Every structure is written in structure tokens, then in C-alpha cells.
Amino acid sequence: MTHPFDPGYGNEPFRTLCQEYPGVDVYPAARFRIEWGPIFHRGRLDGSARVLVIGQDPAQHETVVRRILVGEAGRRQQGFLAKLGITRSYVLINTFLYSVYGSVSAAARKKPDLIAYRHRWLDALLVGQQIEAVVTLGSLAAEAWQLWKATPQGQATTVAVAAITHPTQPESASQGDKTKLAAAIKAMLKNWNAGLQQLAPAIQYPDQATPLVLYGDTFQDGDRVPIPEEDLPAGLPAWMHEQDGWARRVGTDDQKKRANITITVPKGVLP
Amino acid sequence: MTHPFDPGYGNEPFRTLCQEYPGVDVYPAARFRIEWGPIFHRGRLDGSARVLVIGQDPAQHETVVRRILVGEAGRRQQGFLAKLGITRSYVLINTFLYSVYGSVSAAARKKPDLIAYRHRWLDALLVGQQIEAVVTLGSLAAEAWQLWKATPQGQATTVAVAAITHPTQPESASQGDKTKLAAAIKAMLKNWNAGLQQLAPAIQYPDQATPLVLYGDTFQDGDRVPIPEEDLPAGLPAWMHEQDGWARRVGTDDQKKRANITITVPKGVLP
């Protein structure tokens, strides 16, 4: 049995980008969980990506795996890409390198050095590359895209773009209320269907040519897709990409929770 | 501020080795914590290594960081290499890819496929490379070396070898008894001094030419050396390589402990 894995950041320009990431002077510790380190990307860095996704910020599963969008949001996003026939030719980066703590202030997110570093990634992924479509998840990612699009490199780049609702916005917005959750998921999937219809004509080189099947009012079987093993670093166990909910922030107060990540191997994995 | 990091396994032959690692059919789950995945190495894979270290098996810090010998044993071993003037031209692999659970049976450690896979790594690191010295940590690593040395490739390879006591053998042997611990550390450092004297003449290309200063009866300031940032994957926070004791297996019984790794950011790091 072979285990494909993501070779990571050995090649330029990503090697230098991953050596020169901004720290606490750019990402204030009051607003970002800077103590867990930056988490950079998921997907292809070898120039084969056709779709670029901009997410928001990493959470606890991402912190363990050191790749972004590997939890529930990632699984939903993976399903969105699959509907476009994109099963491996994608690359994902986030608006923020570090996990947001509480909420992001306008001052924090407009820091020139924060934006400049993100633009170096966007330049590397878009300029002279073969990206055909860009997907932004949520309003902060949409803003990040607009800021890059206004640069000379951005103005010179023609790609299809869909700014869609963040995949776990329904959970954030409904705060445990099941009726609200169902309504928010329905609204999100309607929004996603519009995004799919915008992007589908732009995808000239899908990994698997697929007739476009839109979402219904709820997630159906197959709408959530596991994170491929080849997106994770070498040697990570299968449950880290196949399952979700195995990493939690545990603690009796906010500070203890902030200092903690508890990993629990899912039931059925241990002998 | 730049953050050097280990680029990992992107290049052959390591890329294929990290895709083709043995699983539960070779490493029985009753004897190895196979559920956390294999952990392969630490140090240089670009041919610049002059010293090869063979350790035993990874523990919880190694499981989070996905590099071997990054806890207390690694820190002590790093100090041993520094006494030889080797501060970056080293590569470390383990006898076992997975963490030992309980103890290893002779049957488990003699499995031909387990040995054959390890030999592929040793071939890659030694045959036609510039390794000048090999250090084995503990009896199982010494056995691993002997098994490879008996192969045609091993017989054709001339390097200085020191089989030294495993760096945390004193803790294992003394079981919390402070008098026994001090005696075991003293005995270990005497053993390490013999190893240093064996290896020092063989090191033709140290990173820093250093007169050989032997250990005393106890670890002195500077005898433990932090794991260099460049040995860890991209983006890991400083406390993961500068500090120890931040990962524990927590649980009310053996099975729960086996399923758990709890990471706690050390005091003083959080804002």
C-alpha cells in the first residue's frame, strides 16, 4: 500500500515564503493565536492547480496537521470543488496565517505587512500560472481577493471568481439552534449553487469531467468529501484526514483553552 | 526574522520511502502505537550529513512534530553531537517507525519486512554518501546497525561506530529513585565519553572544529542542546523545539492514555 503525501515547501518560491512569515509584530497576539505558529496552505504547489481557494483562518485540526481546511469546513469545500470536477488540481490558502482569537479588528486585518505577505503568496500562485478560477470563502477572504485584484498583478490577471459563503457560517450564525442551522445551510447551498454556475464554464481542465449537479436544501451523501491523503504531510494516520472532531481546545477558562489542544484517536481505530 | 525549516521528503529516494512505509501487518498493534502513524527522521537528507544516529522509537513530542528525537533524549543527543563539532551535518533515524507500546518482542523486532524497510533507509543514507561516523542509542539500535552491517552494502561500508547508552536509559532504569538516577547518569556519561573518544578521530569535517571536552559525572550547562529550528517542519512555533514536556499522554486508563496526546503551550508563551 502506498501513501501519497504532500511534499510541502521544499521548492521556491514557497521555501522562502515559509522562512519569512510575519510574526507578532504583524499579527497581534490579542487577535490571533500566534503561539501555535502559522499554517500556510493545502494542495498543489507544483503549478498543477487550476482552482485557487481563499479561506479564512486555521483552527485546531489544521494546527495539528499543519495544513489548512482539513476539518468540517474543508470537507464541505472539497465537495464544492468535486462538483466542478476538481479532485486534486487545487490550492488553498487562508486570509490569515494564524487562527483568529475572538474577532479580527479592521486595524488588524488592514496591516500593510499582513496584506503584503499574502500578496506574495497570491503572486506566486496566480502570476504566470494556470489557475482558471478563484473561490473565496466568507467576507474576509472576499476582501483579501479584492485587495490583491487591485494590485498591478491582480489587474493583469483574468480568472473566474466566486465569492461564496464560508462553509461553517451556518454553524457560527445559528449558535446551536437547529431550525436556524437548517435555514442557514439551505441559504448557503443556494449561494454555493450560484457560485458553481458562475465557475463551471471557466473550468477547462477538470480532473474528472462531471456534469454539474447542484446542491439541494441540505447536504446529501457525497456532498462532503474526505481530505485526500496526498494533501497531508508524510506519515499522518488515516483518521487525521478521513475523520473530524479528534482535536479540541480543552480547559476550564479561556486562557487554559487557548493553551491547549487535545488530540483523541477516534473510536474504532485503536486495537 | 527568517525561520529555517526542514523541507522534508520531497526528493528521492526519501519521497518513495515515505510513500511505502510498512503498516500493521509488519508492526503489530499490540506492540506498537501504529495508530499515530510512522515518524521517519530528523536532520539532513540532502547528502550533507557526516554523522548518522540510530535511535529507538518516537514518543509523544515526536508524534506532534513528526520528527524524531525532539524531546529530552533528542536534546541530550544533540549535545553529544555538539561535542564532536557536529551542529547540523547529521541525520537521525529510529530502529522503529512507530512508538513502542509496552516492550518489543524478539519476534516483532526480527520481522524480515520491518528490517528490510529499515535497510532501505540505511542504504539511502550510507551507500555512496559521506557519513563518517555512526552512533547507535541503546541495544535495539545497536542490533539494527549490526543487521545492516551484515548485508553486502554494510560489509562494503567503512565508518566509525559507537554503540552508546540510550539518552533516557537513566530515567527508565531508575524509576523515580533519585540516587539510582544520579548513578545511572554518571554511568551513561562515562559510556558516552568512551563513545566520543572513539568517534572524534573519525570526524574529518566538523561544522565547528572543537577540542573534545568530555562529560563530567552529571549534565552541565550546555550539555543539553535545543533542537534547531531548521530540523522541524515549516511554521512550528519556537516552544516546540526550544522546550520539552508540552505533550503528554493523558487518560484514566491505559487505553484512554493510548488514544490521547494533550498539547499544552508552555507558561510564558501566551500573551
Tell me if chain B has a CB within 8 Å of the CB of A242. Answer: no
Of A35, A64, A236, the CB nearest to B237: A35
Q: What is the pLDDT along chain A (271 residues), one digit of tens a residue?
A: 899 999 999 999 999 999 999 999 999 999 999 999 999 999 999 999 999 999 999 999 999 999 999 999 999 999 999 999 999 999 999 999 999 999 888 888 999 999 999 999 999 999 999 999 999 999 999 999 999 999 999 999 999 999 999 999 999 999 999 999 999 999 999 999 999 999 999 999 999 999 999 999 999 999 999 999 999 999 999 999 999 899 999 999 999 999 999 999 999 999 8
Tell me if chain B has a CB within 8 Å of the CB of A2. Answer: yes
If residue A63 lies in a helix (H) or strand (E), which one and from where to where? helix A60-65
CB A41 within 8 A of CB A136: no
Q: Looking at the DSSP assignment, which residues form a beta bridge with residue B54?
A: B93, B136
Write down the pLDDT at residue B1. 81
> How does strand B41-43 pair with strand B51-55?
unpaired
In total, chain A counts a number of residues equal to: 271
Give the C-alpha separation, A8 to A126, whole Å. 18
Of A5, A37, A258, the CB nearest to B235: A37
Give the C-alpha separation, B109 to B144, whole Å. 9
CB A145 within 8 A of CB A134: yes
CB A5 within 8 A of CB A229: yes
Q: Looking at the DSSP assignment, which residues form a beta bridge with residue A162?
A: A135
What DSSP string runs through B181-221? Answer: HHHHHHHHHHHHHHHHHHHGGG-SS-SS--------SSPPT
Distances (CA, A) of A108 to A101, A114, A149, B99: 12, 8, 20, 42
Distances (CA, A) of B47 to B50, B199, B206: 8, 20, 15
The nearest CA of chain A is from the CA of B240 a distance in Å of: 9
Of A19, A261, A270, the CB nearest to B3: A19
Write down the pLDDT at residue B105. 86
Give the C-alpha separation, A199 to B192, whole Å. 64
Q: Is the pLDDT of residue B107 over 90?
A: no
- Are the Cβ atoms of B234 and A66 closer than 8 angstroms? yes
- Are the Cβ atoms of A235 and B18 closer than 8 angstroms? yes
Residues 6+ apart with CB under 8 A from B29: A270, A271, B35, B101
Rounded to 10 degrees, the C-alpha dihedral B94/B95/B100/B102 comes to -140
Q: What is the pLDDT of residues A95-111, one digit of tens each?
A: 999 999 998 888 889 99
Tell me if chain B has a CB within 8 Å of the CB of A26. Answer: no
- Are the Cβ atoms of B265 and A260 closer than 8 angstroms? yes
In total, chain B counts a number of residues equal to: 271
Q: What is the pTM of this model?
A: 0.96
Q: What is the pLDDT of residues B209-218, one digit of tens each?
A: 999 999 999 9
Name the average pLDDT for chain B: 96
- Are the Cβ atoms of B234 and A9 closer than 8 angstroms? yes
Distances (CA, A) of B184 to A218, A236, A268, B69: 63, 36, 41, 20
Give the C-alpha separation, B142 to A151, whole Å. 59
Tell me if chain B has a CB within 8 Å of the CB of A265. Answer: yes
- Are the Cβ atoms of A36 and B233 closer than 8 angstroms? no
Over range B219-245, report the average pLDDT: 95
Tell me if chain A has a CB within 8 Å of the CB of B21. Answer: yes
